[in-house]
Structure 1
């Protein structure tokens, strides 16, 4: 499912004209589709369901809380590299057992 489509030479996200969002909120503007995001995650998860993987989204890639929450709600884990990202992961309700902390340059202190 892709919610981004052109109709009459205008880009839409679902039933919303992206230009109207730009006029309302200004540019640059990031527009996400919850339906597209979750659909793609579910397809990935289901493709590997036989081996029951923990699919982790990199918080570094996009730390938007709404995106993180949507993915966690579908069963995703989160890949983090900092205390700030840990805060965000916990804030969106990611279970600790689904948080992967992997980063270079960290010490025991």
Structure 2
């Protein structure tokens, strides 16, 4: 079974986002789960993370999708948490979020 969640985390944050991420990870143990999220707490629970970017070219919307892993994933989680400027503090936070998934 494939389950698709489009911004299931809209309007939440903090501990609630952690619970949603954890619940999605539990579902993913037995089903294929696709989840669109803007929250780093939720994204950090994913087995595979894809970055989707949308831009306008000559009046048309163009989307690109690419997998992120390793340090690129740390940077993407950091960007989601702290904005475009990635600093060491947001990288540490991203590593913490990703580490909780591995320990969970």
Both proteins in one fold, TM over 0.5: no
Q: Using CA pairs under 8 Å that are at least 6 residues apart, name the structure with larger relative contact order, 1 or 2.
A: 2
Higher-strand-fraction structure: 2
Look at both structures and tell me which one has the larger radius of gyration over its CA atoms: 1
TM-score, with structure 2 as normaliser: 0.30
